[in-house]
């Protein structure tokens, strides 16, 4: 057996052991309450690139995409049915045009790759849904996002909501406008009366329940205009870890924190 074959065999054994370890950890973790919906504010890609002297405007974001694949796999194995990813905020369009274009190109590349994975059957059980002001995206990315939603719409194990060109401010304005259109029948001069439920039904993120747990990487303690309406009863877990560095133990620790706070959170929901 040559060196390359030995390395390959060792890698297979290591991966098998890691898989067994994860199954054991997740089995223990599932003895307690598991969040129904986890949202991720993925901060720190650019700082990661700077920290590791990576070149290229999209270097940190490419590293961040690798973390996305691992985190989603962990969530699926744990049995979390809904995950939301804050992929690109409306304010991010204010960055350098070259960086924005680079990120959009990378996003298109990864969406098209994911479409191929879904069509070939390698994306079992994962449904992808894009929300936000999708009309502000270029046509190729918008069409690819729509295609990915179509090819994964029958999958039921894990629903991944990707927030692109998103902010809560824009979402609320959109929801109020849409609510008024729905409530106005064009007859009479009576003012339109909106209920909270009317607005909530028209939110971009109405396709999923409100998050139970919000995990923010990069050391920030702000929601950064992300699902501020929906997270009023959510637990916010902030970690200094940069998004591309987020690993299994960071996720486990966040869920353990959620389990410790679960009774308190449930009590607050009942009071509200």
> Residue 92 has which token pair?
């991010």
Residue positions annotated with a catalytic role = 43
CA distance 55 to 183: 52
Say if residue 228 is exposed, middle or buried (CB neighbours under 10 Å; 0-12, 13-18, 19+): middle
Number of other residues whose CB lies within 10 A of the CB of residue 77: 14
Distance in angstroms (rounded) separating the CA atoms of residues 143 and 106? 15
Whole-number Å distance between alpha carbons of 148 and 142 = 10
State the distance between the two ends of the chain, measured CA to CA, in whole angstroms: 65
Spatial distance between the Cα atoms of 165 and 98, rounded to a whole number of angstroms: 17
Q: What are the residues facing 86 on neighbouring strands?
A: 41, 163
């Amino acid at each position: 057996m040559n060196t390359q074959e030995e390395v390959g065999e060792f890698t297979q054994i290591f991966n098998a052991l890691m898989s067994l370890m994860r199954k054991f950890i997740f089995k223990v973790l599932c003895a307690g309450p598991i969040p129904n919906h986890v949202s991720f504010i993925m901060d720190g890609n650019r700082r990661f690139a700077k920290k590791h002297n990576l070149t290229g405007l999209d270097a940190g974001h490419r590293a961040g995409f690798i973390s996305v694949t691992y985190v989603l796999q962990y969530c699926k194995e744990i049995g979390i049915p809904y995950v939301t990813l804050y992929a690109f905020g409306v304010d991010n369009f204010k960055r350098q045009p070259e960086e924005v274009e680079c990120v959009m190109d990378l996003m298109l590349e990864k969406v098209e790759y994911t479409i191929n994975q879904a069509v070939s059957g390698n994306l079992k059980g994962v449904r992808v849904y894009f929300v936000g002001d999708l009309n502000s995206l270029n046509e190729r990315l918008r069409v690819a996002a729509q295609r990915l939603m179509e090819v994964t719409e029958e999958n039921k194990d894990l629903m991944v909501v990707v927030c692109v060109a998103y902010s809560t401010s824009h979402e609320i304005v959109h929801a109020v406008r849409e609510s008024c259109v729905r409530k106005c029948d064009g007859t009479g001069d009576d003012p339109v009366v909106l209920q909270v439920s009317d607005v909530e039904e028209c939110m971009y993120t109405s396709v999923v329940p409100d998050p139970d747990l919000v995990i923010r990487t990069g050391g920030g303690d702000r929601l950064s205009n992300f699902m501020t309406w929906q997270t009023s009863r959510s637990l916010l877990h902030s970690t200094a870890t940069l998004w591309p560095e987020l690993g299994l133990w960071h996720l486990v620790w966040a869920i353990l924190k959620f389990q410790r706070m679960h009774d308190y959170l449930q009590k607050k929901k009942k009071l509200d």
